[in-house]
Structures are given as structure tokens and as C-alpha cells.
Structure 1
Amino acid sequence: MTLKSVTIVIPIYNERDNIYVLKNAIHKIFAGLHYKYNILYVDDGSSDGTPGILAKVSQFDDRVEYVSLSRNFGHQAALKAGLDMADGDCVISMDGDMQHPASVLPLLLKQWEEGYDIVNTVRLEDKKLSYFKRKSSRLFYKLINHLSEFEIRAGSADFRLVSRKALDVICSLNEHDPFFRGLVSWIGFSQTHVVYQADERSFGSSKYSFKKMVQLAVRGITSFSIRPLYVAIYPGILISLMSSLYIPYALYSYFAGEAQPGWTSLIVTVSFFSGLQLMLLGIIGMYLGKVTNEVKKRPVYIIKESSLTKIANFI
């Protein structure tokens, strides 16, 4: 009987101390499972010596491969690089900071064996996180679900299993600015989820700053919905109404003879339309920028080196 194959894709950035720990944890889990498997690390331009460690690990462990990108392209680009080169019957993506526990892998595989093409994960809320972190996370999912045309469960992450059939579709999309939580929901297929409790970091600190969280939210919203173009109208109108409070003063100055000819009409017009125009132009500009990046057709990532024996020009 031919064993099914599994590829575990792990994008990492400055996680040198977690490489061995995570690799050993995965080996321990698969020792009790009947699958062929390999681990594919994707180094996203690390500056802490990660590529050298990956080269050494892959040399002595034939189940470990690595790809090193030429610079830091971002988590989603690194994830795409791994998915493009994964060759398993199914692919499991997970972070390299040990917060996605290897103990969940059998649960994902069990759901796959039951016929699901995509098995997502939902993280239980960690009470140890700061109030701001928990609140901003909830706000992220509420905002993206309200503005987008699909739903992402709160607590979702890029920790999931994808079948070969679904993965081929995802890789064929080849978007310049991919947002995989949205793409996975958008393509459909049979999907389910499992819940898990995030583990503590073994080493290092989180690389996801508040700025990166905001950038991820903007990417998700603008990649899958044009609703912000409509929503922009409402705050624009509100700003215009608030600025119109200046109109009574302008009229008073006019009738009191204190205004120069033409001043009143100019002030009223500028006050009313400036807020609306600036809001709309900003959001339209954001969408135009995304279109410009797509038209350029630049590679999503560039490979500097790899342990894989054969690499196509993936972009």
C-alpha cells in the first residue's frame, strides 16, 4: 500500500533557535503516523544566521528541505514560496515560532482523511495576551468580515491543511499581493476547522508589530472587496457636514459687511467638499496602487538558495 505524502511548509524570519525544536516536535508526531512527510522551511531574508542553520539541518536530515529568499518579502510571500514548491498529497502550513503546536497535526490529517479539502484552525483566546492585543485581534476580524464579501473566523491564522486539489487552484491564482486567509475562503471546496490552544514561544519574540497587523488588515480588505469605496462616502459626508458648521459664520460675516466679495462662497464651497474629496481620493489611490503592482507582474518572491534539487522559476 502506497503511503500518502505530507509536506509541512514553515515560513520563518529570524527564528534560528526554534528550528531544531520544531523539527524534532514534528518528527515525534509523525513517528506515530503512517505517512511519508517532509518539512520545507522558507527563510524570509533572516539576518540572524538562519540560512546557515537550515543548510546544516537539511544536510544531515533527509526529511528537511529549505528555501532562502533574497530578502524579506513578508510572511505571505514566503508562505506562497513554500506552497508553490510543496509536492505532498496535502500541505500543512504553520509558523516557526512554536505557537502552532505540532500536536494538532494528527487532527488536521484526520479531517483530511474524512474527505475535507481544507482544514483550517481557530485559536482559542489566550488570556495572557494584553488587553490591547486581544481587542485589536477581535477588531481585525470584525472589520474584515464587515467590509469583505467572505467570512474569516476570529482566531484564524495561516495554520491549516490544504489538499493537493485545492492547493493547485491556490497556486494558479498567482496574485502579487496574496492574502491566504481570504484566498482559502474564496476558492470554496469542502472546508472545516479544528480549535487549538497556542503554545508558548520557546525562543525569540513576536515579529508581528501593530503596524504589520494594520497592513495585513488593509491587504485583506482591499484584496477581496470594493466596499471601502462605498463606505468612504459616509465618513466623507460626515466630515463635510461637520465642516459645514463653518458656513453660518461665513454667512454672518457676509451680511454684517465684514467679508470681502467672493470670500463667503469660496469658504462655503471649500469647507463642504474638501473632507469628502480627500477621503475618496485616498481610498481610490490605495486601490489604484494595488492595480499598478499587479500590472507590473514583478515576482512575489526571489529565491537566493535552496536545498531542493530542482527549482522552477516560481513567481
Structure 2
Amino acid sequence: MTPPNRLVSIVVPFYNEGQGADAFYAAITPVFDRVPDCDFEVVCVDDGSRDDTLQRLIGLVERDKRFRTIELSRNFGKEAALTAGIDAARGDAVIPIDADLQDPPMLIPELIAEWQRGSEVVLARRADRTSDSFIKRKSAEFFYRSHNHLSTIKIPENVGDFRLMDRVAVDALKALPEQQRFMKGLFAWIGFRTSVVDYTRHQRAVGDTKFSGWKLWNLALEGITSFSTAPLKLWTYVGLAGAMLTLLYGAYIVFRTIVHGVDVPGYASLLVAVLFLGSVQLIGIGVLGEYVGRIYMESKRRPSYIVRKRHERDEN
């Protein structure tokens, strides 16, 4: 008896991607025919879009029974939308991918081939990122190196959310309790037997990026504070170094006073020292506040997302 085909779930977050929904459908569906020994489902997550994205996704559901749409109650952000899609996926393997087609769907058969050879996680690594701007490439490089230097959990460089995860890895990911989720870090934290497939990153098919510089900065802070306490330790050493310098300077003042007597001038240097140390203290309090704020948000135990409605074809 021929064993049934294994199910592969494609998870796609959408936010104001109405113009690209049909282009994504046209790009993803031919891939399914290239892997005849697998069945596919596509879990589209509408992350509170303000354009016609939801209507277009519902249209895809009505056109193709392999498509399902998860409608979130508002915009929760990409990390939450990705979490919602992974939670809803039913497949033996799950592949998150962006709707902008910068990560090529035609790579999916290669990811599946590596999975069938025994890998539990297959990373899609961007070997060529010339389609991204110079600033984006350099900022991403700086983030990965900074994060991996500060954290014991190493995030693979030039690897985004596009990857394949076996069901055992997906179940481990779903068991993690964080509400504030930095998915790239969580993907790396769970581990499992991993292989890598290289590819060339494409230009966006339609639309503009939804990540501004400010959002990317906040995402970077989320990643570092979620997986490292090194910034807290750093300010301990900064304080220790400041105390040592103060003691040395104090000893110098005492020595100079004994030798030369009391010297009244020094208001300018005193003002600079007070302002400098005050600024250092405020920065340290800010770093501490980042961690306390995340503890506060986690303590509320609010869900990462709320589903307003699920749209899928009736199997009957």
C-alpha cells in the first residue's frame, strides 16, 4: 500500500499587500506541481490590513481549497502574525515565507528535498543580497554580529524567516511561552538537526517595505534583550571603571593640594564631570528599563495575537 503524501504548510503573513496577493498566488501554485509526493496548504495571515488584502485573500480561499486565511483582530506586527500562522499550520513541515516574493518560492522543492534527506530544520541563506540597499545590508550585518557577540544563542547570518521546519521543531517552538516573540532568536534557540540552502534574494514584486528604520531598531533591541543580559553586565563594568577613575582622580587632587595648596578654579571641569556621569547613569537606567519593560509586558500574559475569523473552504 502506497503511504499517503506528507503535508507541507506554507505560512504567509500579509499586511497591506493587496496588490501582491494575486502575484503571490501565481508564483506559489506552480511550485506544488514540482513536489508530487507532498500535499500543500497555504496559511495566509491578514495582520489587520487597511487595504483590500483580506478580500483578496478570501478570494484565493474561494478559488483554491489549499488556501486558508487567518484574520487577526488588528495589526499585531509580523512576529505575532507569523506566530499565528505557525500555530494554525497542520503540516508535517512548515515553511514561513514573505508575501513580497523576495524569497523565491521556487526554492521550496530544495528545502523539501533536504527535509526528506533527514534534516529537521532547513535554512534558506541569502548568499547574494545585492537587491537590498547598501544601508540595509550593512545594518543587518552589524545587527547579526552584535547579537551573536552578546548572546550565547547564535542567529545564522543572512538567514531570515524563510526556512523549513519539521513538525517536531514546530511543536517545540509552539511550546515556548513568550508573548513578546523575536522569531529569529526562537528559531535558533530550539536547535534540531539543521542544513542550509543558499539562494539569491530578489527585488520586491510589488509594494514597499513595511519596516521603517525605527521599527528595525526596535526589533533589534527586542532581539538583543530577549536573548542576552550582556547590556546589563556592561553597565556594571562601566560603573566599576568610573569608580576607579574617580578614585585615581581623587588621589591626584589630594596629592596636588598637599603639594601646591588649595586651588579654587575648576568649576568647568566639575560641571563637565557631573553632566557626563549623569548622562551615563541615565543611559544605564534606560538599559535597565528595557529589561524591566519586557518583564512587565510578559507578566500580563496577554496573547501574542487575537483571531477575529478563520476563512477556509468546507471540505464537504
For the criterion TM > 0.5, the same-fold answer is yes
Residue number in structure 2 paired with 1:313: none
Q: CA deviation at 1:290?
A: 0.5
Q: 1:216–1:51: structure 2 CA closer, same or farther, 3 Å change rule?
A: same
Q: 1:104–1:256: structure 2 CA closer, same or farther, 3 Å change rule?
A: same
Alignment of 1:11 with 2:35, yes or no, is no
Q: 1:243–1:61: structure 2 CA closer, same or farther, 3 Å change rule?
A: farther
Residue number in structure 1 paired with 2:304: 300
Counterpart Cα distance in 2 of 1:228 and 1:88: 39
Deviations 1:221-270 (A, max 9, x none): 111111111123455567889999x9999x99x934468xxx99x96984
Alignment of 1:189 with 2:192, yes or no, is yes
Residues 50-69 of structure 1 correspond to what in structure 2 (within 5 A)?
50-69=53-72
Alignment of 1:41 with 2:39, yes or no, is no
CA RMSD across the alignment: 3.0
Q: Identity of aligned pairs, percent?
A: 37
Counterpart amino acid of residue 95 in structure 1: D
Which residues of structure 1 form unaligned runs of 5+? 311-315
SS at match of 2:175: helix
Counterpart Cα distance in 2 of 1:257 and 1:169: 67
Residue number in structure 2 paired with 1:121: 124
Q: 1:191–1:269: structure 2 CA closer, same or farther, 3 Å change rule?
A: same
Counterpart amino acid of residue 281 in structure 1: I
180, 185, 210: which one aligns with 1:207: 210
Deviations 1:154-180 (A, max 9, x none): 211000111111101101113111112
Counterpart amino acid of residue 92 in structure 1: I
Residue number in structure 1 paired with 2:262: 255
Counterpart amino acid of residue 176 in structure 2: L
SS at match of 2:156: coil
Alignment of 1:278 with 2:282, yes or no, is yes
TM-score, structure 1 normalization = 0.87
Counterpart Cα distance in 2 of 1:228 and 1:304: 38
Q: CA deviation at 1:191?
A: 1.0
Q: 1:268–1:55: structure 2 CA closer, same or farther, 3 Å change rule?
A: closer
Which residues of structure 2 form unaligned runs of 5+? none
Q: CA deviation at 1:37?
A: 0.7
Q: CA deviation at 1:281?
A: 1.4
26-35 or 1-10, which deviates more: 26-35
